[in-house]
Amino acid sequence: MKIEKMTLVGTGVMGMGIAQIAAQAGLEVRLFDVQEGAAQAGLDKLKIVLGKLAAKGKITPSELDATLARFIVIDQLDQAADADLVVEAIIENLEIKQKLFKQLEDVVSEQAILVSNTSSLVVTEIAAGCKHKSRVAGFHFFNPVPLMKIVEVVKGLFTSDEVVDALLELAERMGHFGVKTKDTPGFLVNHAGRAFGTESLKILGEGVASVSEMDRILRESAGFKMGPFELYDLTGLDVSHRVMESIFNQYYQEDRYRPNTLTRLMLSANTVGKKVGEGFYKYEQDIRLNQEPPQTVPQVSAFKPVWIAADYQNDAVILHQYIVSRGIDIDDSEQPNADSLILLATYGEDTTTASQRFNVDATRAVSIDMLTDFSQRRVLMPSIITDQNYIDQAHALFAANDHAVSVIEESVGFVSQRVISMIINLACDIAQQGIASAADIDKAVRLGLGYPYGPITWGNVLGAERILLILSRIYAITGDQRYRPSPWLQRRAKLNIDLLHSVQKAASAKPAA
């Protein structure tokens, strides 16, 4: 099923991005929009973009001319009669899309493929009114299309394998990674992205850390390109909150996707982000005005000895070496001496719970997050009764040589522990549902969301058993279903196998003749 002629319906930013990469891949592209003059205007803007690419040497003059020659603006859908593929990139309204697809079936041949670039609607429902449902699929690109090298090929209940294969081949011709995904809410990438923002909002709502401090922690400690609240301000809560609510409701109020009342309140107040000058931060001419300064490092004249307890021996070794390198005494007694700072390297629990587990004095206890790179921003968590002198000592100790440190309020697990473990857990759950393969989940999320690692690989890097420990403890302490560990993760962690390991079932032995 070779695709050579494409018709694009809807010539907005997304549509013209799709048109651009299709024409650059050698397809003839016909442009149609119900708004008079919109298709020509879209093409005129694209000519400017392509001209700039040629000026920068990104494409040759001959490639520019060839690409532009492949566009044809049409003013009637009847002119799409010989299309091999029709791509719909119009408003996210099910009824309008269904009406368009019925119109298209009266125009194109029975062999033509009809696809929607929808990001939130069910492809099977779009196809429901069509005579030939097997040729309808989702073909979901991300903005900006030429730069985001991924497209989700969504297989509805009726979509044929031949159509899926043809779209995957086309994605490759366009220079994009085509990932086959089931027709489920959020498909793959938007589904996988639920954990980052919703868990960050949950942590913020618990008063664990400020907006600015959480953004710093997740950028500098966990390695995200942007903090969650910077990202919300960029995308706009008018978009993000509605997506959160949509996926939550489409999954029948599944706790993993639970939205937050704060963003609903902000949406009502129209403080939706950078586009209106105020969201989680305030802006003036795109400049952020109210970011909190880093926490002040306290002055400590004399340090107490440090007693260390850790869930993992390697964490204890790293902390021991660091403290000795600072010239501070180690309390190596079985239980801490009466005046020692108690340092706990723990996972998935608050300092109060950890203090009781290790049977130590919570007034001198400070926990430290060792999940992420110790050489990056360090995050400390005292208990609600830890003496300020011991908090100051821990802060100054780990901020030596101007090292970045964040001191947060008590939380069941640290900021990075909670956010990263939820990202990994959700990806494992997506694999459990068979929405896509583990390898495809990994690559698609990395390309689509820009995480430091694909989420399955991230579980391998940090250790599946460690992620399972974090989730199991948070779930046990809170009883909140959002933290229940995925069975897919549990099995692999317990068997100590690579999370990307492809489980091959042994063939049944044939009975002897």
Catalytic residue among 88, 116, 117, 119: 119
Catalytic residue among 88, 105, 152, 278: 152
Report residue 235 as tokens. Answer: 């995308």
The residue to which tokens 């069509």 are assigned:
130
Q: Is 119 a catalytic residue?
A: yes
Q: From residue 377, how far is each of 21, 59, 324, 368 by CA, in Å?
A: 40, 41, 20, 11
How many Cα atoms within 13 Å fall on the side-chain side of residue 126? 35
Sheet holding 5-9, edge to edge: 71-73, 28-32, 5-9, 85-88, 113-116, 136-141, 150-155, 177-182
Q: Is 140 a catalytic residue?
A: yes
If you count them, how many residues does the chain have?
Answer: 513
Dihedral in degrees, nearest 10, Cα atoms 146, 152, 156, 162: 80
CB atoms within 10 A of CB 234: 13
Q: Is 241 a catalytic residue?
A: no
Catalytic residue among 190, 340, 355, 406: 190
Pairwise CA distance, residues 340 & 462, whole Å: 30
| Phi, psi angle pair for 455, to nearest 5° | -65, -30
How many Cα atoms within 13 Å fall on the side-chain side of residue 215? 17
Pairwise CA distance, residues 201 & 456, whole Å: 23
Tell me if 462 sits within 8 A of 427, measured CB to CB. no
Pairwise CA distance, residues 341 & 301, whole Å: 15
Catalytic (active-site) positions: 119, 140, 152, 190
